[in-house]
Amino acid sequence: MIGPGTHLPKSVELRVFLRSLLLQASWNPKGMQNLGLVYALYPALEVLYPDPERRREAVQRHLTFFNTHPYVAAAIVGGVLYHEERIAAGEEDPRRVNEFKGALMGPLAALGDGFFWLSLRPAAGALCAALVPWLGAWAAVLFLVLYNVVHLTLRAWLFRMGLQLGDRLVEAVARARLPTRGARLRAVAAASAGAAAAYLAFTFGSQQGGVGGWLLAGGCLALGALSYVLVARKVPTAVLTAMAALLAGCLGAWL
Amino acid sequence: MHVGWGHVALAGAWGALVSLERRAFLQAMFSRPLVAATGMGLLLGQLQTGLYLGMILELFYLGTASLGAALPENDTLAASGTTAAAAMMAAQTGGGGTPAIWSLCLLLFSGLGLFGRWVDRRMEAHAAGLSAHGLELAEHGELERAVRQNLWGIWPYALVYFALNTVCAALGLWIGTYLSHVPLVVLRGLAWAFPAMASVAAAIAARGSHARSAAAWGLLGGAVMTGAVLVMAWVDG
């Protein structure tokens, strides 16, 4: 039984963290990540609530709607443990933990989406895609390393912050300045995409040889620039790709 | 290289694994096109095919993200399925991967991303049933079973994506037998379609990067690379 001021064993905290990696296993439109959250928390709830009735109540309060970014969810999972320790010790009202989840899941989802999905992943992906001609299969390895050094470090740090600070984790997350860093990463993604297109067009041009090959290479790049404008005007990407293939294919066959 | 049903099954297994990683476990980006396609190419003995398809599909799907409850196209199925088909096709011809084969597969299997999204939606219905069952079990005090419902969401994914990638690989094997009948002029045209599609993918990527002044950054990257290629060409004579 957990009493006032005592904490969960480290091994249980580790189990919860590892199980939180399966947060999205049963993502569903109704409860979204609810099953994943309860699955992650259960080893801790077993220790905190030896009484089956209190444990059932705890499980039920976490089977309600829950949805956030799967990485930054680590902060909420840690924070839930922080609150559940206090609820089990009788220091806090059980409603407090649901208020905590409700208040944080939206803002943290926006933060996680903006940094991980829309900044870090495109930057690492475009940079490593542009490096494929030089690094070969190592480009894929480099992508995994670059991405996961940041991802796993932040995920573990967020879990620890939630566990140690509870509601005050917001201040720690704000100090990480993720939106500012994200803006820089997005510029890397755009520049790398341009470099990859240029490399492919000119490499294929030089392989083809002659003036025709270089003209086609330049044409491919011009097609890319035109596509950029057309994508902005909501022309479907599948249509653009097919048209580009058709045009370059006809010209290539003729030249 | 001799190709057979063992390779088809291997393609299915890798496709299932990366699909699981995308959705159910870890999300360490093994499921991104660059990694999923490279891994598929490596496993099927067609590394270059995996690399170049992974590169172009990574750019094509660079800006897609699962935000909130919105489901994006399934970039993982697009990468693993297209590469499985291209690798089997290349192995069947005996000559290895070529830009013509890559273009052909990109065009033939271009609907895989959308189809994958449709499959994902169907899977959500199954997961919703698990969630409802979990609530019921918790109500009756069967907490262990309620919690384990989470894991039951994994297996249908593995099975469905195993089957889909197997079908793609088998189709590639089958189409590969007819490739020798394709006229040379068509193959030449297909070869040129590849850099054109790469340019379009890069434009989509620059737009999808969500960068402020994305066009300027893309142009800068393209200009630097063009300069480097021209200097190298000049040095090489």
- Cα–Cα distance, B197 to A244 (Å, whole number): 6
Q: Residue B126: exposed, middle, or buried by beta-carbon count in 10 A (0-12, 13-18, 19+)? A: middle
Are A132 and B151 within 8 A, CB to CB? no
- Cα–Cα distance, B43 to B53 (Å, whole number): 15
Of B99, B134, B203, the CB nearest to A224: B203
pLDDT at A133: 85
Q: What are the pLDDT digits (tens) for B118-144?
A: 999 999 888 888 888 988 998 888 988
Are A189 and B201 within 8 A, CB to CB? no
* B75, two tokens: 């970039």
pLDDT at B1: 58
Number of Cβ atoms within 10 Å of the Cβ of A10: 8
> pTM score, two decimals?
0.91
What average pLDDT does range A83-93 have in this prediction? 94
Number of Cβ atoms within 10 Å of the Cβ of A221: 24
Mean pLDDT, rounded, of chain A:
90
Of A113, A186, A247, the CB nearest to B211: A186
Contacts of A221 in chain B (CB under 8 A): 199, 222, 226
Determine contact, residues B34/B63, Cβ cutoff 8 Å: no
Give the list of residues 6+ apart from residue A91 with CB closer than 8 angstroms, or none.
A4
Nearest CA in chain B to A105: B68
What average pLDDT does range B92-112 have in this prediction? 92
* A22, two tokens: 């399966």
In DSSP terms, which residues pair with A32 in a beta bridge?
A28, A66
Of B34, B58, B143, the CB nearest to A56: B143
Size of interface A-B (CB pairs under 8 A): 351
Are A25 and B24 within 8 A, CB to CB? yes
What amino acid is encoded at A118 in this protein?
A: L
SS3 A28: strand
Determine contact, residues A231/A240, Cβ cutoff 8 Å: yes
Contacts of A36 in chain B (CB under 8 A): 150
pLDDT at A174: 86
pLDDT at B36: 98
Q: In this structure, what are the phi and psi dihedrals at residue A37, rounded to the nearest 5 degrees?
A: -65, -45
Are B69 and A225 within 8 A, CB to CB? no
Interface residue of B29, B31, B40, B114 to substitute, partner A, most A CBs within 10 Å: B29
Determine contact, residues B197/A203, Cβ cutoff 8 Å: no
Q: What are the pLDDT digits (tens) for A95-147?
A: 999 999 999 999 999 999 999 999 999 999 999 998 998 899 999 999 999 99
Are A197 and B106 within 8 A, CB to CB? no
Name the nearest CA neighbour of B29 among B65, B1, B2, B68. B65
Determine contact, residues B232/B90, Cβ cutoff 8 Å: no
Q: What are the pLDDT digits (tens) for A166-209?
A: 999 988 888 888 888 888 899 999 999 889 888 887 877 666 66
Determine contact, residues A67/A32, Cβ cutoff 8 Å: yes
- Cα–Cα distance, B211 to B232 (Å, whole number): 30
- Cα–Cα distance, B73 to B116 (Å, whole number): 7
Name the nearest CA neighbour of A40 among A22, A67, A66. A22
- Cα–Cα distance, B57 to B62 (Å, whole number): 8
pLDDT at A215: 81
**Residues making up chain A, counted from first to last:** 255
Determine contact, residues B105/B172, Cβ cutoff 8 Å: yes
Q: How many CA atoms lie within 13 A of A229 on its CB side?
A: 5
pLDDT band at A214 (very low <50, low <70, confident <90, very high): confident
Name the nearest CA neighbour of B168 among B96, B110, B97, B229. B110
